[in-house]
Chains A and B, each alone.
Chain A
Amino acid sequence: GAGVSQSPRYKVTKRGQDVALRCDPISGHVSLYWYRQALGQGPEFLTYFNYEAQQDKSGLPNDRFSAERPEGSISTLTIQRTEQRDSAMYRCASSLEVSTGNYGYTFGSGTRLTVV
């Protein structure tokens, strides 16, 4: 696609429910990244993939958070048993090349998650 697409744009869920956030990267982009952004703060790294392999999940806050990218394209970030502190903007980014630092990332518009 022309850009990184995230869905849904907005998600309101009740505390304790599971949510799945979807990211569709730019076609052909090898690397995919998930970030979380609280209001007034910079994006916080969660996890990233090269192709279908999860390379680093050190930023996932706890074991309620998981991510997958089974076919090396679309990725899903799942939050189980949501809590109010999970409320934030969740952003996905993709890049063309396997990480060396010599590339730019393209970010999606994000999913605004609100846990009530």
Chain B
Amino acid sequence: DAKTTQPNSMESNEEEPVHLPCNHSTISGTDYIHWYRQLPSQGPEYVIHGLTSNVNNRMASLAIAEDRKSSTLILHRATLRDAAVYYCILSGHYGGSQGNLIFGKGTKLSVKP
């Protein structure tokens, strides 16, 4: 399985931007880069995904390196409600597990008021 590497934890101040990095040096050409987050006591929540180009939605932006070996999830203005574990996951065709999401440990984001 293609794997990702994320920092265990990060801190941010409220209303400041947050850049959450992810390394995925073994990414294959058909793998999409997904980000999910999990708030305390809740199920994982889809944030954003992309293939090659940078992506924006109402929740966040995803910046993908030109060689696709790394990406960064950008929260433009962190709020206290953004405190969660953020998972960077690769998903695509491989073997019999097409599109499956394999979760790692993620990055625990703390937001200070």
CB of A100 within 8 A of CB of B103, answer no
A48 at the interface (CB under 8 A from B): yes
State the main secondary structure of chain B at its contact with A: loop
Interface residue tally for chain B (C-beta within 8 Å)? 28
Are the C-beta atoms of A56 and B97 separated by less than 8 Å? yes
Whether the pair A44, B43 counts as a contact (CB closer than 8 A) is no
Whether the pair B98, A105 counts as a contact (CB closer than 8 A) is no
Q: Decide: A99 and B100 in contact? CB cutoff 8 A.
A: yes
Task: Tell me if A1 counts as interface (CB < 8 A to partner B).
Answer: no
Instruction: State A95–B91 Cα separation when bound (angstroms).
Output: 13
Question: What sequence of 0s and 1s flags, for each residue 57-93 of chain B, a beta carbon within 8 Å of any chain A beta carbon?
Answer: 0000000000000000000000000000101000111
In chain A, positions 1-50 with a C-beta closer than 8 Å to chain B are: 31, 33, 35, 41-45, 48
* Cβ contact of B96, chosen from A33, A55, A106, cutoff 8 A: A55
A107–B87 Cα distance when bound, in Å, is 14
Determine if A102 is an interface residue (Cβ-Cβ < 8 Å). yes
Least CB distance from B63 to A in Å reads: 18
Q: Which of A66-107 contact B (CB under 8 A)?
A: 91, 93, 95, 98-107
- 12 A-B pairs in the complex with CB atoms less than 8 angstroms apart: A33-B101, A42-B85, A42-B105, A55-B98, A58-B96, A99-B91, A101-B31, A101-B34, A101-B93, A101-B99, A102-B51, A107-B43
